[in-house]
Amino acid sequence: MTGHFYGVGLGPGDPELMTLKAARLIAGADVIAFHAGVGKQSNARRIASGLIPKTALEEELRYPVTTGRTEHSGGYAGAMAEFYEQSAARLAAHLELGRTVVLLAEGDPLFYGSYMYMHDRLSERFLTEVVPGVPAFAAATAAVASPLVRQTDVLTILPGTLPEAELARRLADTDGAIIMKLGRTFPAVRSALAQAGRLEHALYVERASMPEQRWLPVADVDPATVPYFSLIVVPGDSLHQEPTGRRAHAQPEPVEHTAELLVVGLGPGPEGWITPEATTALREVDHVVGYAPYVNRVPQRAGLTRHASGNTVELDRARLALDLALRGEKVAVVSGGDAGVFGMASAVHEAAADPAYAEVTIRVLPGVSAVQAVAARAGAPIGADFAVVSLSDRLKPWSVVERRLRAIAEADLVLAIYNPASRSRTDQIVRAQKLLLEHKSAATVVVVGRDIGREEESLRVTTLAELDPESIDMKCLLIVGASTTRRTASGSVWTPRFVD
């Protein structure tokens, strides 16, 4: 029989915060394993030192690198992967002999801990049990004695290693937050807190529950003094500055003013494809409303409030934006690509038809559309007359889509197809291909652009007959050529401006 493997959480540092179960297992273990940093003593072993039996074998798992710089051929990731494999082999050797192995873990074993890498490698081979521990953020919250979250508040736990812009966005979108992994990341984290408007109430805690514990406002911290064993607490109450935690807000009465609502096209994705006009406008508004992935593309800054929502509530978000504008707020509704091409501009105008919004002026700022981006990557397939159709039948019956596809094919226009497929709509592209083949040559050139402008972008040029519907998803945009559309020897696709 093989031995029993335990991942034992030790808590944040104070041995008295260890659970009774953890203490019992440590005292009865055959093997005590623990991680240690380069040139450092193991903090985990220090916490448990008073419980480790003299008869126990000790396995020190010392990291080969901690800064990310290494001569290993596989870089930092390769060095760490090799280390974890070697460490797992050392522990497996004890387990195969039937020994009880306890791997000490600071805080909780499965919360940003090294234990999980041993768990991945050993839990399927050996009987394994995880013993939870008090996480460091719980001790830090107790140290500052400030309520973290209450009632329906959302708590977000963030690594300080996130890109600064992403960290700022997430801080602005949550009620309470914990930021881990500081040290060298502290200056960027502090900047992100300021951008999110959360710096004033953020609290820095160092070595929570340990004798050296200290805490102070983040704004007062010297970045040069920040160790790894530190974190930041952002109380949920600070978002609304309501000590009771209540979230009921009295809506101010509308006042006389010039109400304006901006509808902004963000382009297909890359920062370079958003217009200077849109960038300037987004720096001046106080509210951004839109589908969550598009709202997330707007850089966070102090004073900016985000209103993100799902993909099928266009009128709801349009009314929210109009209500804010009516109250005198500076508001922008954001949309991917060009807001006027299957975007939010039409939904905003539809909602604004309500007489209640008669005072709101709507201004649409154009953006680069997806069809322009795909066409540019391919060459010039829309250099002559072309049509644009969405295959989604959520807002119109499929019979209308078919009628329009047939008319476009009979008119011999280049056709750009938006929304060709989704998880719930997989047959429309099949039906569209079949219909188009009834009126177009099988050799008609087809361009398939996927995630154009992003890291995962791909562009394929095929024919109408050879198009594989199973390869098409919601991230694709198709351009189906006219009879005059050509493909050059180098692979570019273009449509002449003239017709013979």
Residues 218 and 190 in one domain: yes
**Number of structural domains the chain divides into:** 4
Does the residue 500 lie in any domain? Answer: no
Q: How much is the pLDDT for 257?
A: 59
Does the residue 34 lie in any domain? Answer: yes
Residues 114 and 31 in one domain: yes
The conformation of residue 28, written as its DSSP 8-state character, comes to T
Boundary (domain end) residue, out of 133, 160, 185: 133
Does the residue 273 lie in any domain? Answer: yes
Q: How much is the pLDDT for 40?
A: 86
**Which residue bears the tokens 């791909």?**
458
The conformation of residue 253, written as its DSSP 8-state character, comes to P
Does the residue 251 lie in any domain? Answer: no
Report the distance separating Cα 350 and Cα 344, nearest Å: 10
Question: Which domain CATH number covers 385?
Answer: 3.30.950.10
Residues 202 and 236 in one domain: yes
What are the Cα distances from residue 398, in Å, to 24, 402, 418? Answer: 67, 6, 14
Does the residue 110 lie in any domain? Answer: yes
Name the H helices within 440-499: none
Report the distance separating Cα 409 and Cα 418, nearest Å: 16
Q: State how beta strands 4-9 and 101-105 pair.
A: parallel
**Which residue bears the tokens 């914990």?**
178
Question: Which domain CATH number covers 335?
Answer: 3.40.1010.10
Report the distance separating Cα 167 and Cα 179, nearest Å: 9
Residues 38 and 88 in one domain: yes
Does the residue 315 lie in any domain? Answer: yes
Report the distance separating Cα 370 and Cα 388, nearest Å: 11
β-partners of residue 460 are 448
Report the distance separating Cα 107 and Cα 44, nearest Å: 9
Closest CA to 8 of 58, 45, 61: 45
Residues 211 and 93 in one domain: no
Report the distance separating Cα 13 and Cα 16, nearest Å: 9
Rounded to the nearest angstrom, the gap between the alpha carbon of residue 458 and the centroid of all alpha carbons in its chain is 22
Provide the domain limits for residue 145: 137-240
Does the residue 246 lie in any domain? Answer: no
Residues 352 and 451 in one domain: no
CB under 8 Å to 403, separation ≥6 — which residues?
A: none
What are the φ and ψ backbone dihedral angles of 84, each rounded to 5 degrees?
Answer: -65, -35
CB under 8 Å to 483, separation ≥6 — which residues?
A: 412, 440, 441, 444
Q: How much is the pLDDT for 246?
A: 39
CB under 8 Å to 55, separation ≥6 — which residues?
A: none
Q: What is the pLDDT along the chain (500 residues), one digit of tens a residue?
A: 789 999 999 999 999 999 999 999 999 999 999 999 888 899 999 999 999 999 999 999 999 987 667 777 778 888 899 999 999 999 999 999 999 999 999 999 999 989 999 999 999 999 999 999 999 999 999 999 988 999 889 999 999 999 998 999 899 889 999 999 998 999 999 999 999 989 999 999 999 999 999 999 999 999 999 987 899 999 988 776 544 443 444 455 544 557 999 999 999 988 899 999 999 999 999 999 999 889 999 998 888 998 988 877 899 999 999 999 999 999 999 999 999 999 999 999 999 999 999 999 999 999 999 999 999 999 999 999 999 999 988 889 999 999 999 999 999 999 999 999 887 788 999 999 999 999 999 999 999 999 999 888 999 999 999 999 999 998 999 999 999 999 999 999 999 998 87
Report the distance separating Cα 259 and Cα 310, nearest Å: 26
Residues 194 and 284 in one domain: no
Boundary (domain end) residue, out of 340, 365, 390: 365
β-partners of residue 267 are 337
**Which residue bears the tokens 């790894």?**
228
Boundary (domain end) residue, out of 93, 114, 133: 133
Residues 211 and 229 in one domain: yes
Q: How much is the pLDDT for 253?
A: 54
Residues 27 and 66 in one domain: yes
Rounded to a whole number of angstroms, the CA Rg of the chain reads 29
Using CB atoms within 10 Å of the CB of residue 347, give its burial: 0 to 12 exposed, 13 to 18 middle, 19+ buried.
buried
CB under 8 Å to 442, separation ≥6 — which residues?
A: 463, 464, 465
Q: Which helix (H) or strand (E) covers residue 148, if one does?
A: none
* Contacts within 8 Å (CB) and 24+ apart, 95-100: 95/2, 95/3, 95/4, 95/5, 95/122, 95/125, 95/126, 96/2, 96/3, 97/3, 98/1, 98/2, 98/3, 99/3, 99/30, 99/31, 99/57, 100/3, 100/4, 100/6, 100/28, 100/29, 100/30, 100/31
Closest CA to 321 of 294, 355, 357, 296: 357
Q: How much is the pLDDT for 425?
A: 81
Q: State how beta strands 230-234 and 203-206 pair.
A: antiparallel
β-partners of residue 479 are 416, 447
CB under 8 Å to 391, separation ≥6 — which residues?
A: 401, 417, 418, 419, 420, 421, 425, 428, 429, 432
Residues 377 and 355 in one domain: no
Q: How much is the pLDDT for 67?
A: 66
Report the distance separating Cα 479 and Cα 494, nearest Å: 11
Does the residue 245 lie in any domain? Answer: no
Q: Tell me the pTM.
A: 0.70
Residues 378 and 324 in one domain: no
3-state helix, strand, coil in the chain (%, to 5): 35, 25, 45
Residues 175 and 207 in one domain: yes
Q: How much is the pLDDT for 68?
A: 63
Tell which phi-psi region holds residue 66, choosing left (phi > 0), alpha (psi between -120 and 50) or beta.
alpha
